[in-house]
């Protein structure tokens, strides 16, 4: 996510934090706007899912979701009372988890409410880690799908491995999977993608998605060689696209083991303040 977007969202979210008797909380009506929901009835459905998740985690729902009423202006100095909900940090996190993570505001919120400090640099690092994990999971799903598709076209697991390494060679300027592992100092038995930066993971995923699409569409693509040529072409296209922005995947340094990043994110999530003092409306 772009740093300017993060900075803007950081400012917006900070502006709507309230404190009562030492407990931080947010109002649901305001969180609705922050997360980009236009209609309250749609946002209520997300809140209900979050309450179910709260209960399943062994927490007391009314410690995190407190029904209140608020007076709002309706024009001509008139006001009316509307229902609202005071939400703990944990409640907000669960709500964000039940939203669409493809939306910048929701992806940001998942990190904002999970990390105890609201320092922007901490949020940026955690959000970058989360996006990298999501990209890696997406690539795994795409490769699993491709493996299944080409199995039906007469390619076994060893053939799939050869297709993948030829695709890697096209993406990494001639370096196949094994060569890239050696180049980056990656253990032989670990997947290359577990140590790649997000931009490279996403390029590999898009190339794989295109191969999936074209193999499904073109029934004449049968056997290892034709499918290899298709996959090489798609990876070469990704390399050409990255090259136009001055990005050469083989020259990018290895990043932290994705398994360690996943454990770190899960550890931070566990530190969320679940046993808070009861919020009183």
Q: What is the pLDDT of residue 140?
A: 96
Chain segment 95-153, per-residue pLDDT in tens: 998 888 888 889 888 888 887 656 667 777 888 888 999 999 999 999 999 999 999 88
Chain segment 9-68, per-residue pLDDT in tens: 888 888 888 887 777 888 999 999 999 998 988 999 999 999 999 988 888 888 899 888
Name, in order, each residue with C-beta under 8 angstroms of 143's C-beta and a sequence gap of 6 or more.
Answer: 164, 208
Domain layout of the chain by residue ranges:
3-114, 128-265
How far is Cα 10 from Cα 14, in angstroms, rounded to an integer? 6
Q: What is the pLDDT of residue 10?
A: 83
Calculate mean pLDDT across residues 215-231.
Answer: 92
Q: What is the pLDDT of residue 240?
A: 96
Band of residue 69 on the pLDDT scale cut at 50, 70, 90: confident
What are the b/e assignments for 89-123, b being 16+ CB within 10 Å?
bbbbbbbbbbbeeeebbbbbbbbbbbbeeeeeeeb
Establish how many alpha carbons lie within 13 A of residue 154's alpha carbon, considering only the half-sphere containing its beta carbon: 10
């Amino acid at each position: 996510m772009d740093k300017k977007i993060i900075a803007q969202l950081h400012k917006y979210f900070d502006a709507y934090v309230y404190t009562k008797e030492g407990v931080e909380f947010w109002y649901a009506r305001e969180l609705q706007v922050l997360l980009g929901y236009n209609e309250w009835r749609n946002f209520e459905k997300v809140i209900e899912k979050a309450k179910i998740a709260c209960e399943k985690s062994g927490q007391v729902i009314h410690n995190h979701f407190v029904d209140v009423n608020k007076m709002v202006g309706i024009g001509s100095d008139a006001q009316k009372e509307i229902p609202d909900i005071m939400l703990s940090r944990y409640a907000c996190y669960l709500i964000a988890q039940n939203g669409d993570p493809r939306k910048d505001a929701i992806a940001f919120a998942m990190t904002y409410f999970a990390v105890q400090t609201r320092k922007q640099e901490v949020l940026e690092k955690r959000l970058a880690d989360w996006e990298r994990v999501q990209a890696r999971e997406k690539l795994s799903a795409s490769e699993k799908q491709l493996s299944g598709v080409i199995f039906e076209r007469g390619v076994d697991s060893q053939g799939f491995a050869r297709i993948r390494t030829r695709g890697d060679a096209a993406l990494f300027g001639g370096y196949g999977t094994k060569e890239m592992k050696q180049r980056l100092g990656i253990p032989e038995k670990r997947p290359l993608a577990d140590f790649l930066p997000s931009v490279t993971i996403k390029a590999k995923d898009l190339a794989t998605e295109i191969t999936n699409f074209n193999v499904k569409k073109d029934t004449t693509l049968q056997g290892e060689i034709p499918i290899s040529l298709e996959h090489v072409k798609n990876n070469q296209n990704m390399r050409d696209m990255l090259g136009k922005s001055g990005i050469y995947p083989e020259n990018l340094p290895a990043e932290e083991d994705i398994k360690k990043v996943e454990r770190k994110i899960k550890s931070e999530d566990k530190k969320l303040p679940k046993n808070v003092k009861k919020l009183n409306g």
